[in-house]
Chain A
Amino acid sequence: MSLDYTSAEMMTVTAARALENGMTCFVGIGLPSEAANLARLTHAPEVVLIYESGTLQTKPDVLPLSIGDGELAESALTTVSVPEMFRYWLQGGKISVGFLGTAQIDRYANLNTTLIGDYHDPKVRLPGGGGAPEIATNAGEVFITLKHSKRAFVKDVDFVTTLGFGRDGKGRDGVPHIGRGPTRVITDLCVMKPDAETKELVVVSLHPGVTREDVCDATGWEIRFAESLESTPEPSARELEILRELKDRTARAHAGQ
């Protein structure tokens, strides 16, 4: 029997399923945080979630609006300073997965959260790098989740804030102590992984009801599809129920303040 769910829910559930017990995840705010907490509340109760505000092993009951909401500190095993967070825990190699969102992503999974247009004469100024530049290189691997659109998925990003595989796909070659980089990109249409050789993103799985044409129409370059293209499993009733409860709790909590 098929359940009713939105493409946004499909994206969050698929992103959540990428996380497993035993992983230590440095969580970005927004979609990554939603997915990471869904994972913790469903199949991966032992996943360790860490936010850049210094909150280690945190278990928020509602999703934080900011990266440093009180909820994160109150439900954390311990809270450390921000320098300790980045130096010991991230740079020190204790993080297995960085989970990031972005404004723009290109075919080599480079991320742009800095600006649209020219740096010295921007069309749109975006917030900037935040933790991402070092999360993407110092975590063991990187998962990326964002909504699929031609505006977001561009052939070349306007600015490389955060390294995927560089402008030529070789940006990590020969760099000592660097993580594997983006290993999967999860959108509301599909899942992509970098090609083993060229590092260009390839669609490996289409979400139910999504066609190749849908993905092509929402991607700013000639996107390739894996030879053995899979169909992403649908969300379960339990995942949808827990996700909706989490979002309702969050909406109530933020409206009440």
Chain B
Amino acid sequence: MAEFLSLHDAVARYVEDGATVAMEGFTHLIPFAAGHEVIRQGKRDLTLIRMTPDLVYDQLIGAGCAKTVIFSWGGNPGVGSLHRLRDAVEKGWPHKVEILEHSHAAMACAFEAGAAGLPLAVLRGYVGSELPNVNDQIKFIECPFTGERLAAVPAVRPDVSIVHAQKADRAGNVLVEGIVGVQKEAVLAAKQSIVTVEEIVDDLTTLPDYHPNACIIPGWAIDAIAVAEKGSLPSYAHGHYPRDNAFYKDWDGIARDREAFTQWLDDNVMNAGENA
């Protein structure tokens, strides 16, 4: 049953050094506030899973929180590289990070398999790609019915998943609107989960625009809920605020330079209070 905690307390309780953590949100509802709290609390040796590492993992990697990153597309969308990820992989700053890379299809299937309680995901994937040569988490199996060769990857089973959503109600039920990515799968696949939300309402089902097919994650499937207003900026929250595209462009300059990055981190995360 979801417990209402401060973001600080939720991260302190559920994110341990060395944990496997998935912070999801497919270019939308990216849990930046939670990522910043993980950085502030100085968590170390994390295995970070995310389809699109985006700026949030660039920040966590640059801050020294990551040991391993599992991903399928590691860029700054529409802008270019993630320079902190590149600096860690290419030059080992602030330390060497191990990467395990997949395709989107495989990771999406792996989250779904995790949510479904299966040990692996099967897909018609990686045909002719050299990714299986460099990632031993990609194997091939034979379909027992047709003999077709299919790709298999292990299910994603994070110690903790963190996602951001628009609303939770007093019973802890969470409403996700717009691009839903793999957020529901990430929560259900994880041993424990934290959901940050823009706002708490009384009862989701009595909202005027409530729809019976809305994407709802029941409160009893979540461990902690924390309010984090504007918690996905510079990404966006459908119906609440737009994506800060200008910041995504500015990030390129900030993240290229170790000193500029460290200064940015000090000013905007480390010394910016609990809600930054």
- Report A's interface with B, CB cutoff 8 A: 29-30, 52-55, 64-70, 72-74, 79-83, 85-87, 90-91, 110, 114, 119, 122, 124-134, 137-138, 159-163, 166, 171-172, 175-178, 254-255, 257
With contacts A129-B73, A134-B124, A257-B242 taken as known, whether A85 is within 8 angstroms of B108 at the C-beta atoms is: yes
Known: A66-B77, A66-B78, A67-B77. 9 other contacts (CB 8 A): A66-B243, A79-B180, A81-B182, A86-B104, A129-B104, A131-B104, A134-B126, A163-B129, A177-B124
For B134, list chain A residues within 8 Å (CB).
119
Q: In the complex, are the beta carbons of A131 and B178 less than 8 A apart?
A: no
Q: In the complex, are the beta carbons of B78 and A91 less than 8 A apart?
A: no
With both chains docked as a complex, state the minimum distance between the C-beta of A37 and any C-beta of chain B, in angstroms. 14
Question: What are 20 contact pairs spanning A and B, CB under 8 A?
Answer: A65-B78, A68-B181, A70-B238, A70-B243, A79-B178, A83-B111, A87-B105, A114-B130, A125-B74, A125-B85, A126-B81, A127-B81, A128-B75, A128-B101, A131-B103, A132-B103, A133-B103, A133-B105, A166-B128, A177-B148
Q: In the complex, are the beta carbons of A81 and B180 less than 8 A apart?
A: yes
Tell me the bound Cα distance from A74 to B79 in angstroms: 22
Is B248 part of the contact surface with A, judged by Cβ < 8 Å?
yes
Residue of A with least CB distance to B146: A176
Q: In the complex, are the beta carbons of B112 and A67 less than 8 A apart?
A: no
For A127, list chain B residues within 8 Å (CB).
73-75, 81-82
Tell me the bound Cα distance from A83 to B121 in angstroms: 11
Residue of A with least CB distance to B237: A70
Leading 10 A-B pairs by shortest Cβ distance: A68-B27, A163-B128, A127-B75, A66-B77, A130-B73, A65-B78, A134-B105, A86-B105, A133-B103, A83-B108
Q: In the complex, are the beta carbons of B128 and A137 less than 8 A apart?
A: yes
Tell me the bound Cα distance from A129 to B238 in angstroms: 27
Among B94-113, those with CB < 8 Å from A are 101-106, 108-109, 111-112
With contacts A29-B78, A70-B236, A79-B179 taken as known, whether A129 is within 8 angstroms of B148 at the C-beta atoms is: no
Tell me the bound Cα distance from A129 to B185 in angstroms: 21
Tell me the bound Cα distance from A125 to B85 in angstroms: 9
Tell me the bound Cα distance from A60 to B128 in angstroms: 33
Q: In the complex, are the beta carbons of B131 and A53 less than 8 A apart?
A: no
Kindly identify which residue among B28, B72, B85, B128 contacts A129, using a CB–CB cutoff of 8 Å.
B72
For B86, list chain A residues within 8 Å (CB).
125
With contacts A67-B27, A82-B51, A127-B81 taken as known, whether A133 is within 8 angstroms of B246 at the C-beta atoms is: no
With contacts A175-B127, A257-B245 taken as known, whether A87 is within 8 angstroms of B77 at the C-beta atoms is: no
Q: In the complex, are the beta carbons of B185 and A68 less than 8 A apart?
A: no
Tell me the bound Cα distance from A54 to B102 in angstroms: 18
Q: In the complex, are the beta carbons of B131 and A70 less than 8 A apart?
A: no
Tell me the bound Cα distance from A138 to B123 in angstroms: 11
Residue of A with least CB distance to B110: A83
Tell me the bound Cα distance from A91 to B105 in angstroms: 9
Tell me the bound Cα distance from A126 to B75 in angstroms: 8
Is B71 part of the contact surface with A, judged by Cβ < 8 Å?
yes
Tell me the bound Cα distance from A138 to B126 in angstroms: 10
Tell me the bound Cα distance from A87 to B108 in angstroms: 9
With contacts A53-B27, A81-B185, A91-B105 taken as known, whether A133 is within 8 angstroms of B78 at the C-beta atoms is: no
Is B125 part of the contact surface with A, judged by Cβ < 8 Å?
yes
Kindly identify which residue among A72, A114, A134 contacts B104, using a CB–CB cutoff of 8 Å.
A134
Is B184 part of the contact surface with A, judged by Cβ < 8 Å?
yes
Tell me the bound Cα distance from A107 to B27 in angstroms: 33
With both chains docked as a complex, state the minimum distance between the C-beta of A178 and any C-beta of chain B, in angstroms. 6
With both chains docked as a complex, state the minimum distance between the C-beta of A130 and any C-beta of chain B, in angstroms. 4
With contacts A53-B27, A68-B27 taken as known, whether A114 is within 8 angstroms of B181 at the C-beta atoms is: no
Residue of A with least CB distance to B124: A91
Tell me the bound Cα distance from A53 to B77 in angstroms: 12
Q: In the complex, are the beta carbons of A128 and B72 less than 8 A apart?
A: yes
Q: In the complex, are the beta carbons of B124 and A257 less than 8 A apart?
A: no
Q: In the complex, are the beta carbons of B81 and A125 less than 8 A apart?
A: yes
Q: In the complex, are the beta carbons of A160 and B27 less than 8 A apart?
A: no
Q: In the complex, are the beta carbons of B127 and A178 less than 8 A apart?
A: yes
Residue of B with least CB distance to A121: B90
For B127, list chain A residues within 8 Å (CB).
133, 137, 163, 171, 175, 178
For A68, list chain B residues within 8 Å (CB).
26-28, 77, 179, 181
For B236, list chain A residues within 8 Å (CB).
70
Q: Mark B44-86, 1 if CB is under 8 A from A, else 0.
A: 0000000110000000000000000001111101110110011
